Amino acid sequence: MRADAIDQLRVRSEREAATRAPGPFASSPFSTDAAKMARRSLVAELACALRVPEGSAERLLVESESLVHDLAATRTALQQGEISYRHAKALMDHVWSLPKDARAGFESALLPDARKLTVAKFDGTARRAREKAHPDTITTRHAKCITDRQVQLVPARDGMAWLNAYLSAADANSVYERISGA
């Protein structure tokens, strides 16, 4: 499985970084620790080998590590062709936002749905289950997430651009209604 191979590369890279002797500039304020450099190097090599952007390679590395070490049942279902990679990604996106002690129960409760639902329906089911499973209230989580707000402008062809915004749902709906004239 590709996730196993990618995670093996990650482990090998981390081991090599841990055994490397510090360079002559290790005490310099401009030095970067070996583990971070090894990670960046691995991401760059993976991106080149797979011909994907480095952000996609980083995400693939994180997903592979999660499938191999945290979500064994999801990995098995994926290997046996019971779910698609998109189902696994949807599950990972929701499970990562839960505390570690709640993840295994969430995975086992949701996998049967992943086996029988489309990705879109499964994502909705997982989102609702995550809301119920999370130990913090929606108010607490919303207050924490509000600090993560951001806006991104991505140029496109023919004089167009994409405007991406991570906002509260209320703000996003207001912006959408204003722009679309709905």
HEC profile of 85-96: HHHHHHHHHHHC
- pLDDT of 151-163, one tens digit each? 998 898 999 999 8
Q: Is the pLDDT of residue 141 over 90?
A: no
If pLDDT is split at 50, 70 and 90, which confidence band does 149 have? Answer: confident
| Residue 86 φ then ψ, to 5° | -65, -35
The answer to whether the predicted template modeling score (pTM) of the entire model surpasses 0.85 is no
Q: Where are the domains of the chain?
A: 1-21+31-69, 73-135, 147-180
Residue-by-residue DSSP string for the chain: -HHHHHHHHHHHHHHHHHHSPP-TTTTSTT---HHHHHHHHHHHHHHHHHT--HHHHHHHHHHHHHHHHT-HHHHHHHHTTSS-HHHHHHHHHHHTTS-HHHHHHHHHHHHHHHHHS-HHHHHHHHHHHHHHH-SS-HHHHHHHHGGG-EEEEEE-STT-EEEEEE--HHHHHHHHHHHHT-
